[in-house]
Amino acid sequence: MPNVLKSYPLILWNYFKYDGPRTNNHVEGFHTRLMKKAGKSHPNLFEVVQLFIHEEASSNVQVLQLESGQSAPRRRRRYDDIDNRLERLGLEYMLCERSLASYLGAIGHMMDSVYRR
C-alpha cells in the first residue's frame, strides 16, 4: 500500500458522491480575472487591496441580484451532461450493478472522451 494511503484517511481525499466542484478551474478563473484587472503581473500591496475592495463590491452586487430573484448564470450543457453521467455511474456502482473495475473504467473512458474534444 502506498504511503499516501497510510498518511491520510480516505475521507480526506475521496471525492465519491461529492457535490462540489471537480476541478480548481473556478479558482484559476478568479485568479486570471484578478490579474487582468490589475493590468500587471506584480501589483504592489495598495493595488492588491484596491482590487480586493472592488472584487468584494462586485460579489456583493451578485449576491443582491441572486437574492432579488435573478437567475444564476447558466452552466454549459456539456458540464451538466458530465455531472449527470458521473451521477448515474456512481448510482450503478452503489447499487452493485457495476463492479469497482467497471465503474473506474467507465469514468476513465468518459473522461478520456471528454478531454479529447
Q: Across 9-13, 51-55, 82-86, which has the greatest mean pLDDT?
A: 51-55
C-alpha angle 69-72-77 in degrees, rounded to nearest 5: 140
pLDDT of 48 over the 90 cut: yes
The answer to whether 24 and 15 have CB atoms below 8 angstroms apart is: no
- pLDDT of amino acid 53: 96
Please tell me the distance from the alpha carbon of residue 82 to that of residue 90, in angstroms, as a whole number: 12
Q: pLDDT tens digit string along 56-67? A: 999 999 999 999
pLDDT of 86 over the 80 cut: yes
Give the cell for residue 81.
451532461
Q: Where are the domains of the chain?
A: 41-73, 75-117
- pLDDT of amino acid 116: 73
Please say whether the dihedral angle defined by the alpha carbons of residues 11, 15, 21 and 25, taken in this order, is positive or negative.
positive
pTM flag (> 0.75): no
Q: pLDDT tens digit string along 5-28? A: 567 776 777 777 777 787 788 899
